[in-house]
Amino acid sequence: MHLVPVLLSFITVAALLVVTPATGYRPWLHLKPNSSDLLIGGSKKFEGSSEFVHMRYHMGPVLTANITIHTIWYGRWQISQKKIIREFINSISAVDAKRPSIAGWWKTVQLYTDQTGANISHTVRLGEEKNDRFYSHGKSLTRLSIQSVIKSAVTASTKPLPINPKSGLYLLLTSDDVYVQDFCGQVCGFHYFTFPSIVGYTLPYAWIGNSAKLCPGICAYPFAVPEYMPGLKPLKSPNGDVGVDGMISVIGHEVAELATNPLVNAWYAGQDPVAPVEIADLCEGIYGTGGGGSYTGQLLNDKYGSTYNMYGIRRRYLVQWVWNHIVSYCTGPNALDQ
């Protein structure tokens, strides 16, 4: 990932049309391998892949102040779908959820620090929301038009989203009838920061799409499976919505990386800052003990046959593990859920 200066000229922004923000992938054969594949190899991507991974701090800022996530609902969203996602975000800081919990998973993210030794914030809360149900920028978005959607949300004449560059994260969620550049073919979500020349501010943001209609077998796996894998049965999603349950893990992936690498110059592995390998990239596809390659790891099932690996406040979720730089392997909530 390019380390882009905060102040960007119009020419610089035009050049960044070819930049690929930090992304959330799914491990399928027809996709381009991500940087973690190149770094440690598919056969080495398991919980204890410490020999090949060197997560380093590059002196950039991380989110040590209380984190507020402002959400933009782009397109048509059902109330039930919004509830699943809101409750996931509210579960990140919940202290009373059953274990293994989302809050326990976040404790691994909290291990990362800034230059002063201050840790990532424990507190993550749901902030203001903005509905863009009439597709203000159309149903096909580019990486740059995503920033224009964010600009519309923070500069709206009525109820604009608050501007909070230091501890605010902006989550753009697109409905299942919206296509985004590289969606399904290369990415299921990505994060970056807005350009002042477009938005007026440098704001860390993430985009995640609902893949239910476009590519559930890629971005909602294991609740849907690709057509080229006949005989493999999908698992039952914990909240009864394949697209949204698939989004949850990608949202967790991107929020964890935004907290530890908001301006793409803090925590990442690899030698090339153009393609940083971040704390969730290193654990792509790992949801439980023994996970790696195409195996998710050991998961949990409820009495209705739904599959999950963590508890939220009132719901169950399936969320991928993240890289623990202290012990140099992927960890889930059980490791720190005390």
Helix %, strand %, coil % for the chain, to 5?
25, 20, 55
Residue 52 DSSP label: G
pLDDT-derived band at 268, boundaries 50, 70, 90: very high
The string of pLDDT tens digits covering residues 296-312 is 999 999 999 999 999 99
Specify whether the CB–CB gap between 171 and 69 falls below 8 A.
yes
The string of pLDDT tens digits covering residues 185-222 is 989 999 999 999 999 999 999 999 999 999 999 999 99
Stated pTM of the model? 0.87
* CA-based radius of gyration for the chain: 18
Residues near 41 by beta carbon (within 8 Å), at least 6 away in sequence: 52
Query: Please, what is the average pLDDT of the chain?
Result: 86
274 or 260: which leads in pLDDT: 260
Q: What is the mean pLDDT of residues 114-141?
A: 98
Residue 335's pLDDT is what? 66
Residues near 293 by beta carbon (within 8 Å), at least 6 away in sequence: 27, 42, 43, 45, 46, 285
41 or 275: which leads in pLDDT: 275
DSSP 3-state of 64: coil
Residue 52's pLDDT is what? 60
In this predicted structure, the answer to whether residue 14 has a pLDDT above a threshold of 50 is: no
Residue 230's pLDDT is what? 85
In this predicted structure, the answer to whether residue 331 has a pLDDT above a threshold of 80 is: yes
CA distances to 192, 259, 319 from 200, in Å: 15, 21, 33
The string of pLDDT tens digits covering residues 74-86 is 999 999 999 999 9
In this predicted structure, the answer to whether residue 7 has a pLDDT above a threshold of 60 is: no
The string of pLDDT tens digits covering residues 52-111 is 678 999 999 999 999 999 999 999 999 999 999 999 999 999 988 999 999 999 999 999
In this predicted structure, the answer to whether residue 292 has a pLDDT above a threshold of 90 is: no
In this predicted structure, the answer to whether residue 30 has a pLDDT above a threshold of 60 is: no
Position 115: which residue type? Q
Specify whether the CB–CB gap between 203 and 193 falls below 8 A.
yes
Residue 36's pLDDT is what? 31
Residue 19 class from Cβ within 10 Å (0-12 exposed, 13-18 middle, 19+ buried)? middle
Please state, in angstroms and rounded to a whole number, the distance separating the CA atoms of residues 332 and 42. 20
Q: What is the DSSP string of 220-289?
A: STTSS--TTSTTPPPPBPTTS-HHHHHHHHHHHHHHHHHHH-TTSSSEEBSS-TTS-B-TTGGGTT--ST
Length of the chain: 338
Percent of the chain with pLDDT over 90: 76
Specify whether the CB–CB gap between 172 and 75 falls below 8 A.
no
Specify whether the CB–CB gap between 74 and 175 falls below 8 A.
yes
